[in-house]
Amino acid sequence: MGIKKDKRNYRKHSEENQELIKNSLLELGTGRSILLDNEDEIIAGNETFTQAEKLGIPIQIIETDGKTLIAVKRTDLATDDDARKQLAIVDNLATDKSEFDFELLSDDFDINFLEDIGFEKIDLIPKGVGENNPTEEWEDMPEFEQENLLAKNRVIVSFENDDDRFAFAKLIGIKMTRDTKSIWFPEKKPEAVKDFRYKDEE
C-alpha cells in the first residue's frame, strides 16, 4: 500500500493536536475514515494517517466513485458505552484543535471563492501585509471619541412563516431574506471603514 501524504496540506497541526489524535487512536481506536484520490494521495486526514502509521494501525482502503457515502460502523461500541461518548467528543475536538494554512490557501484559491465558502477576508491576508505598531501609529493623532451607534429602541417582530416575513418586508420597504437577523428602520446602509480617512487640517 503506497499511501502518500498531501503535498499541499491546507491544515496545520500543533503538537497538542498531534498528541490528541495519537491518544484518541490509542485509547478509543479509529473513528472517521481518511480520504484518498485515485493516486493514493491523501485529500483529508493527513495527521490521522501519520499517527496511525506510527502506531502500526492497519489501514483498509474502500474504493468508491464518490456517489456512495461510506459509513464506518464500530461493531465494538454500543450507544451507551463510555468510549463511544468520549469518541464523539474527541473526534470533533481533534478537528477544532487544528487550523488552516491561510497562506497556502491564498496561493491556491481565488480570495472570492474562499470568502464565498465561509472564510473571513482578514484571515486570508498574508502575514506582514498591513501590519504595524499601533502605539507608534497613534503618535500625534487627534483625540477621537466614538459615537454610540447602538439602536436607541428595539422591537422583536415574529413571523409564522416566510410569506409573512416577506409581506412585512414589502410593507416597510426593506429587503429581507430568510437569513436576515436584524434590520434598521428607516433602512441604514453599512458604512465602509475604507471610506474614512484622517486628514491633517493644517
What pLDDT, on the 0 to 100 scale, is given for residue 119? 80
Q: Please give the C-alpha separations between residue 94 and each of 6, 27, 90, 156, 196, in angstroms, as whole numbers.
A: 19, 14, 6, 39, 42
Nearest to 38 by CA among 61, 7, 68, 13: 61
pLDDT per residue over 62-116, tens digit each? 999 999 999 999 999 999 999 999 999 988 888 888 888 888 888 888 888 888 8
pLDDT per residue over 37-55, tens digit each? 999 999 999 999 999 999 9
Between 2 and 41, residue with greater pLDDT: 41
What pLDDT, on the 0 to 100 scale, is given for residue 99? 86
Write the single-letter amino acid at 101: D
Q: Is the pTM of this model over 0.85?
A: no
Write the single-letter amino acid at 184: W
pLDDT of 190 strictly over 70 = no
Whole-number average pLDDT of the chain: 83
Cβ pair 11, 98 in contact under 8 A: yes
Q: Please give the C-alpha separations between residue 34 and each of 8, 49, 79, 178, in angstroms, as whole numbers.
A: 16, 7, 23, 35
Place of cell 481533534: 94
CA dist 66 and 44 (Å) reads: 14
